[in-house]
Every structure is written in structure tokens, then in C-alpha cells.
Amino acid sequence: MNSLAAHERIGKGIIFMILAVLCFSLMDVAMKHLAGHLSSMQVAFFRGAMSLPFIVLWLVATKSMARVRPRRIGLHLIRAGVSILFLILTVITLRELPLANAYAIFFVAPLLITLLSVVLLKEKVGVHRYGAVLVGFVGVLIMLNPNAMGFLSYGVIAGLLATLGYALVMILVRLMHRTETSESLMLFFVLSLSIGCGLLALFDWRPMTLNDIPWLLGLGLSGAIAQYLLTEAYRMAPPAVLSSFEYSAMIWALVLGYMLWGDWPGPWVLVGAAVVIASGIYISHREAVRNKHQGELEQSKLQH
């Protein structure tokens, strides 16, 4: 592949990533709306159940069903349990906080993933990434100060716990990628949400109306399209290029939150979020540098 074609491919990958983030934001909008009158467990159930048919159809259409067989059932079950908890907490966060405020908290995830990878995966983290994590947590203190969101509000606590849960799930995914296929990880994630959250929702099932149907369809469709766009983005461009564009979610959150609910975060939230985002981008950059260095070392060993 020549240089021009490679650049065009990467450019398409970036566009797909930005559109994927938009679709995930639309999915969160649907969850936030539904959480206004349905239980958190009910909304979490629909997050899985409405996406499941689209994923199964995609697996059948691409003849990938043979690749979904799990190899490490125990890890799938642990991931399922943590995923159910973090998604319910995510729905609570979306219900309690403006969309942009919720996203500002969720952006803490890369910082937690970096620290947890050291503890749980025994990965080595250099001084640059430790410094970025420290700066990132300063950003957290800025946006959670009492004049902004407040440390002890219900939505903030739920958001922080949801972010910790998400970080644990991502650590598990890193570990499971050593033995499990992407198809297996995708299907069993949605399946576990559908079954687990569905059973929990039975204890607090609230009546629904015909007006909920478009939102439910939008929830499933946006989630499925987002997953497809994300897969295509990573097929066209390397993760090191794409990771920074995940933060475009804040733009969508600001626009959608203002258009739909008239929400606009205060200056402390915006400043703190900017610090967290900058630290997350720098961590991604250092990760890319480390991976490139390791690749060059392995290539050098092969040549000698």
C-alpha cells in the first residue's frame, strides 16, 4: 500500500471513529431519557437486549458464529458481573448528572486503567505516564470541587464507581484478548447484560408507554451502528491514532445536552475536564511510543 492510500485509509478510520463516538453519545442520550421514568436496571437491560439482535445478525452475515466459542468461562463470568454493575451505575450517573458532567467523570477511565494495569497485569509504566496520571487526578479535583459538581452527590459517586467498573472491565478485556476472539467478547458482553440486568430489572419493573418505543429502537440501533463503526475504524487506522478522537464525545455531550435539556457545565467542570482529557491523550501517546519501541526491539531481535 502506497503512502497516499495509507493516509486516505487512516483518514477514513478517523471519520469512522468520530461517527462511532457520536452514535455512542446518542445511545447515552436514549438511556438518559429512559432513565427519567424507568428503573436503572430496566434501562441497562434494554441497553443489552436491544443491541443483541443486531450483533447476532452481524455475526451471521459475516459467518463469524464459529468464532464466538469462549475459552475461559470463568473470566467471562467475572467480566459479566462487573459489566452489569458498571452499566447500572452508568445509567444512574446519566440520570442524575448533565450529559457533559457525566462524560467528564467517565474520562477518568484511562487514568484508572493505567494504574490498574500495573497492579493487575504487571505492566511497566514509566515516569511520563505516572506524571500524566497525577496531572489527570488534579483535573478530577478541579471538576469535582464543591463549586462545580461536589464530591458527595449521588450522581458523582455513581459516576466514579461506574468509571472504576469500566476500567476493571477494560483490564479484563486486555487479559482475555490473549485467548478470546473479538466476536466472543462482543457477543457475551451484550448477552450477559441482557440476562443479568433483565433478571435484576424484574424486581423494579416500571410500566412503559408507546412513546418509549422510538427511544428503545434508537438505543439498540445507535449502539449497534456505533459498534460497527468502531470495528471499521480500528480496521482502517491504528489505535494510537484513534484513541485521542474518543474525547470528541465531550463535544457531542455539550451540543446534545444543551439542545435537549438546556444543560451547560460550569467553568470548573470544563477546566477540569480539559486537564483530564489532556492527560488521557498524553497517556495514549506514551503508550503508542512504548508499543513502537517494543516493536522495533522485536524486529531487531528477529533480524539478528
Evaluate if residue 6 carries a pLDDT over 80.
no
Rounded distance, CA 298 to CA 292, Å? Answer: 10
Q: What count of other Cβ atoms lies within 10 Å of the Cβ of residue 211?
A: 9
Render pLDDT for 153-188 as a digit per residue (tens, 0 to 9). Answer: 889 999 999 999 999 988 888 888 888 888 888 888
Render pLDDT for 285-304 as a digit per residue (tens, 0 to 9). Answer: 777 666 666 655 555 554 55
Higher pLDDT, 120 or 239: 120
Confidence bin at 148 (pLDDT 50/70/90): low
pTM above 0.75, yes or no: yes
Confidence bin at 32 (pLDDT 50/70/90): very high
Rounded distance, CA 40 to CA 155, Å? Answer: 13
Evaluate if residue 1 carries a pLDDT over 60.
no
**Residue 131, Cβ density class (10 Å: 0-12 exposed, 13-18 middle, ≥19 buried):** middle
All cell numbers assigned to 18: 468520530
**Residue 64, Cβ density class (10 Å: 0-12 exposed, 13-18 middle, ≥19 buried):** middle
3-state secondary structure of 181: coil
Q: Which long-range contacts (CB under 8 A, 24 or more apart) does 235-239 make?
A: 235/13, 236/9, 236/10, 236/12, 236/13, 236/16, 237/9, 237/10, 237/12, 237/13, 237/14, 237/17, 238/10, 238/288, 239/288
Amino acid at 37: H
Rounded distance, CA 34 to CA 169, Å? Answer: 25
Angle at 229 (CA atoms; ends 221, 248), nearest 5 degrees: 100
- Name which of 234, 219, 217 is nearest 91 in CA terms: 219
Confidence bin at 19 (pLDDT 50/70/90): very high
Distance (Å) of CA 156 to CA 110, 138, 297: 18, 16, 43
